[in-house]
Every structure is written in C-alpha cells, then in structure tokens.
Amino acid sequence: MEISRRRVIVLGGTLVAASSLGTQGAQAAPQTQDHAPGRAPRGVWLAGDTHVHDDHSSDGSLPRQTSDQRLPGNLPVKDQIGEGERVGLDFMPLTDHRTYDQHWDPQWTSSRLLLIPGEEANGSPHAVVLGAVDTIVDGANPPGSPAFRHVQQSIWDAHAQDAVWSVAHPDDGEVEADGRPNANASVQTPDIVEIWNRASDPDGEIDYAENRWNHGFRFGAVGACDCHFRELWDVAGPGQPTTWVFAAEATERAVLDAFKLGRTTVSRSPSGPFVTIEADLNGDGVFEAIGGDEIVLTRAPRKGIAKLRVHVRGGEGTTLYVFGSPGRSAGPLATYTPSSSEETYLVPINPGEGHSWFRAEVRAPGDLSGGDADPALPNQLRAATSPVFVSTKAPAVAAPEIPLPDMISSDDQAAPVVGDVGAFAGFADVATVGRTSHVVAEAHRDGRVSVVYQRVVGDRAQGKLVDLAPRSNVSRSPRVVARGRDVWVAWQETESEQPRRTSIYLRHSTNGGQDFGKAVKLSEGKVRAIHPALAVVDGGRAVVAWADNSAGAFDVFVQVVGVDSEPHNISAAGKTVDAGTPADSRSPHFPASLYPSIAVGPRGDVVVTWQDSRFDADPGWTGHTPPAGQEASGGTDPDNWEIMTSRRGANQHTWSAPVRVSPDPEAADRHPSIALDRDGGFVVMWEAKALRSSGANLALRVSRSTDVGVTWSAAQPVGLEPNAMSQRPRLGQDQDGALRAVWYDSRSEDWRWKVFTARFDEGSGWTAPERLTGPGNASWPAVSAGVAVFTSDRGALRRQRDLTQQVFVVRL
C-alpha cells in the first residue's frame, strides 16, 4: 500500500475515481486518493486513539466521578499524555466534555506524541470533534424541530473548520432500547463512527454502523478507549482499542485527512491483532483500494475478476470473518483461522449493480471487548477494518429516515475568490481600499495548511493566488490590514508539532499586494504563539497582537512593529497563576487570555480586546472542587469567560491595566471584535451564552466606550433570536464610516448556517439583522468597507465525503 499526497481524476477501464463532474446538488463521484488502475495507495499506518479524557472533564477521574466532584482529581493532562507515549501511540487527542480548555493547559505538550486538538462535544448525543480551533458550542433546538437539528449544525460547524466529526458510542445516543436507529441517526455527513468504544457495547455499535452503511452513509470505523480512569490503564487506557490511520505522513493534517477518507482499522491494542483489507476491482493484479475508500465503477465487474486481499498480523488463535453488505445478518462471505503471525487471504467478490461494501473483523474467546459487551458471545471483537465501498455508475446517497430541509436557493451575488471544489479554504479576512479588497485565508491541500493572499477588484480575483509562507507546512489564522498602497498580513506558523511550537509572522506590501517583502518573525518560537490580530497606526506602523504561553498561562502580547523593541505582555497584570499541588490534578490555575482584536482611534490611540478566564472560580476546569469539608458548589461549565481591554495612548509606550468590559458572572463571553464607529467611539462585540455546557444558545452582545477604553457601557444585545445561535462576530466600517457587524447564525429555515449583518446608526442604534448569504452553509465572516468574505460549502458536488469549503466575497 502507498498513499500519494495528491488527489487525481481518473477514468480508466471500468474504474472511476475522484470525478469532479456535476453541479450544485448533484451526486458526483467521490473524492479519493490515487485510485488509478495500476497504482496502490501510498502511506504509513499510524497508531492512535480518538477519545481520551483527563481531569478537564468534570468526570475525568475516578475519585471525582464517584464523589460527585468532592474529591481531588488524579488524572492530569501530562499523565494521560504520558500513558499514550508509554504504550507506543503515534497520535492522540484529549477529548474532554464540551470544553477546549485542556489545550490551554501548559501540560498539553509532547515531544513523542502527535497531539491532535479534540473535544467530546454536544450534550446528547455525544460526538467527538478532532482538529477544530475551539469548542463546538451545542445549542438548543427551536420548538418543533427534529431532535437531531442541533447535532447536524454542529457537524456543519466542524466541517467549516476542516475538522473531523465522529459519532461517539452510538449504542448510547443513536439507537432505541431495541437497537433501532432513533432520530439522531438521521444526522448526515459524519466522517467517522465509533464501532468499538471500550466502555460500551462494540457489537451494538457495529450493528449501528452496518445499518447506516446499508442506508447509503459512507464513513470510516474507529475505536475509542473513552478512558477517564488511570486505575483502568492496563485494560482500558489509551490505545485500548487502537485506531490506526493510513496517512500520508505523521502530521496533524495528514491524520485528519486520513480520517475524512475513512482509511482506518481498529485493533485491540497497539500490539494487535492488526487486520487490513484491500480491493482489486478490475483484475489487473493491483489492489487500488483499501478500507475506507469509495470506488465507483462504470459497470459491475465480470464474475471472477474482483477480489479482496485481507492481511492479519498477530492473529494466531483468532477467527477472521469477511463480510459483505448487508453485513453480519447475512453471515460471513468467508471465515479463516490464522495459524501464524502473518497471514494473507484472497477473497473473490462479485459486487453487482448498485451499492455494496466489504469489511473484515477478527474475533477470539476471552475477556470482554467492552464494558457493555454481551458476556454470552463466544468470540469477542479483537480487530475490525473500515469497509471498502463499491458502487456502479454513481456513488451512494445517504437515505436517512428524516431528511434535511431543502436548501435555500436565493442568489446572494457572492463570488468565489479562494479555494477549489474538493478542497478546503476558510478562516478568511479582508481589508478593502476603494474597489480593491485584499483577501487572506487558509488553504488546506495535499497535507499542507497554507496562508494565501488574493487581490480582488469588485468581486473578481485579479492576479495569482500568493502563498505567503511557501516554506511552511502549517500556517494558520491570517489577518490583513491595508492603508492606501500598503498591505500587511500576519499569521501563525507551526515550526514543530512534536512538541508543538508556533510563531507569529508579518509580511508587508508597499504596492497594493503586487508583491510582498520578506516575512518578519515577531515571537520567539519557543512556545505556542497563536491567533494574531492586526491594525495600523499613524505613520504606517503595523500593530500586531497575539496570545502565547511563554509565561505558562496564555497571555496577550502586543508589538508596534518598528517602534517597540519587543512585544508587551498586556494581560498579565492582575492575573493570579497557581501551579497547584501534586495531591489534586485540578488545583493548578492558569487563566487564559485569548483571541485578541485591535482598533486604532483617529488620534493614534490603540485599544486591544480579548477573552479572559481570570474571574472564574477555577479557570480551566469544568465543575468545581469544593474546599476541604465543604459541599460541592457546582462551579462553572463552561468557564466564566469575560471580555477585557487594554489601551495605549498616541505616542506612548505603556499599556493600561486590563479593563473589564463584560463583568457578568452568569455568562461565558468569548471571541470579541473591536472597531470604531463613525463618531470615533470604540465598540466591542462578542458572543455570550449562559454557563451551561450544552443546550444554551449563543447570542451577541455589544459595549461602547467614548473615553478611549477607560470605561465601557453596559452590554446590549444585537440581532437577538433566542431560538438561534449567533457566533463569531466581526466588526468593520462601511465606506460611509458607519459601523457594521457580520456573524454566522443558525436561525434560517433550512437549518444551515448563514451570515447575517446589522449596521449601527448613532441615532437609533443597531438595525434589525439581515441575512446576507443564500445557498449552503456560510460561516467565519469578516468585513471591511462594505465588503464581506465568508466560508461556504455551496460549491460541494455531493452531500457526503465532499471536502469543499471555499471563500466567497460579497459587496454589501
């Protein structure tokens, strides 16, 4: 087996792979990798886990889970990572319940283990999200909606970040007591599904997966230790079971891409048994597909042509079963008993017209495969592959019991400017001068994550797309500002993933983006420097802010480039950091200051805003450990994030102490954006939610300062819709100087995320929200001088297994 890092379009013999023909809404052939006749996939098998907890989950350790959180925790981040290292895993996420705070823990680092960002999202049913940039907020369904609406929206939200969405333990959330799929099973486009959760019933989970595959769903199979307890490391710790991914290389992006392709197999542990499945569907002797791949044939192969190759390592004393659709209910296609450490079997198959799939699993007597496994089963699960999916003429279309509502088709006059069909582009920013818009975005292709620049005149891209960091494999979070012919772009660049180290870079163009000068490195590169913000002051100096953990806790640093000899830490003042005690893994407190945004006043005053958890009772932790002898007091879940600011006067070099903008102990306030209104007032907008980890909708809040950030008005709602989620606001000025907000929102009748907008009128306040986008999902907007950019999946050619996310521009 080999994996190429490029996607191709191949039409050869009877085999069709990776066709990109079709129009919006059509079911085109799936995107796969190198399914050319005569070529086998290339890559490397990497061992990992997909679902692991620590004490950042409120039930993350045995003492806490059995004491209603009254006892200290004993499962710190470093210990769970250390266990993953000890057993020989290559990658692992920490997927704590409905929180991302584990990633702000200074212990989230490893030189031996590839750490994948992760979260166990949603209230019910649970899901695992891998590769997102922050928590996926689980809102409340509007009255009368099908039960899975909020789940579907969380999938779309994850895919807008090119993250992987997994069904967690489907036997507890997606099925009724009798095993029949419930409403949650109608959720579409999951990337992977747990068929082996060590704490649950693997056979029930396999039944669920086979049911969905028979209904046309296409996803890969994964395992999950779902470990909360160090006391069970020997039998249910990280890597028990092990999920193997067939990835192009050992990087975060390659692992996530492999999950999206479903190229996985699951084994009892890193030492096996290990089983793989491959398919030669055109009889040329080359096995061009592996488990997870989706192959479309122009016609069914002649009888005797197609075959599977199943390889088992460490299978002595086990039984190998090969199944074809409809699965176990029809009995195995073939059964084998491996007698040596390496066995390979050729299995003839006859895929007919329509849709079919083929998979393998290994079983043996002995200990139970899961906490809820049937003890009467003589053979327990020991390994299993993802299926090879085979179709003729057209790929399978998912047929859920409850269909999604029809998509809004109204034309919003938006035009694509970054990204191609079948690939990801998103997280865009824009700076507009006259009719010229300078657009930056992330582009994910061939295992690379790049920061790209595109000059746009009107609504059309002009000139070539520019890779601003061509020597980097991972560049993210771009921001752009412009003044006249000057254009600046800042981003974060990953210099190491093991351990994870990122730096902030800046490039400057003096000729309107025609070309850029050399990149300037602003941070040291010894820590994680993330989420840059960017503005320009009088004199044409760039002001860059970012968050990094050089002091242990994440703080916000700011530098006026060409003026400051080094960045200033503006958030540390008044923050209490506590390394904690060895007796309680939840005793350390490292309050985080994150997601800065910058605005510059007409006289050169600079105000920076960010979200901050220093006022939480125990920042970084869900739930709360009470003082000794006292009852559990609940704590916060999520953290009580607040919005804060600091200011720097014109021609000054010192920053004010942090100022609280949203001193609300009952809400989590996050992701602020700051801009000037027409009168020169500073305005901050953010998203807020009640302190409930799930079932609470995000809403927008705004505050204004007329004294350059010394004081702030009481927060007011903008675009309020209690039955919807409103998130990730961005502020900017229109061409006439009026303040405008854009955000993405779930209130539309087709359920999809849409970009909404509102303007601030100094006389009458904020206008009613107006839907800005039409077809598909639209998210992650930014706005400048009456031009908005956003990420959308509207160019996708099919509903499942299509990675398409593109950046669009629209004039307001």
The rounded distance, in Å, linking the Cα atoms of 347 and 719 is: 60
Q: Does 72 sit behind a cis peptide bond, omega within 30 degrees of 0 on the bond before it?
A: no
| DSSP string covering 56-77 | TSTT-SHHHHTTTT-SPP---H
| DSSP string covering 644-678 | EEEEE-TT----PPPEES---TTEEEEEEEEEE-T
Chunked in runs of 10, what are the mean pLDDT values of the chain (812 residues)?
A: 30 34 29 54 97 94 87 96 98 97 98 98 96 96 94 98 98 94 97 98 98 98 98 98 98 98 98 96 95 96 95 97 98 98 97 97 97 96 98 97 96 97 98 97 96 96 96 98 97 97 98 97 94 94 97 97 96 96 94 98 97 94 68 74 97 95 96 97 97 94 97 98 97 97 97 98 92 98 98 96 97 94
Element (H, E) at 212: helix 202-214
The phi and psi torsions of 211 (rounded to 5 degrees) equal: -60, -45
The rounded distance, in Å, linking the Cα atoms of 194 and 438 is: 43
Q: How many CB atoms lie within 10 A of CB 13?
A: 16
Query: Tell me, what's the pLDDT at 16?
Result: 43
Three-state DSSP state, 685? strand
Task: Tally the residues of the chain.
Answer: 812
Q: Which residue has the tokens 């070099």?
A: 653
Q: What architecture is the 415-811 domain classified under in CATH? A: 6 Propeller (2.120)
The CATH topology of domain 47-272 is TIM Barrel (3.20.20)
Q: How many CB atoms lie within 10 A of CB 741?
A: 27
Q: How many CB atoms lie within 10 A of CB 629?
A: 6
Q: How many CB atoms lie within 10 A of CB 483?
A: 15
685 within 8 A of 673, measured Cβ to Cβ: yes
Distances in Å between the Cα of 404 and the Cα atoms of 176, 407, 751 are 21, 8, 8
From the list 185, 121, 113, 90, the residue with the least C-alpha distance to 147 is: 185
Query: Tell me, what's the pLDDT at 636?
Result: 81
CA 586 to chain centre: 26
DSSP 8-class letter at 805: B
81, burial (CB in 10 Å: exposed 0-12, middle 13-18, buried 19+):
buried
34, burial (CB in 10 Å: exposed 0-12, middle 13-18, buried 19+):
buried
| DSSP string covering 454-521 | EEEETTEEEEEEEES-TT-SBEEEEEEEEETTEEEEEEEEEEEETTEEEEEEEEEESSTTSS----EE
The domains of the chain are located at: 47-272, 415-811
Query: Tell me, what's the pLDDT at 525?
Result: 83
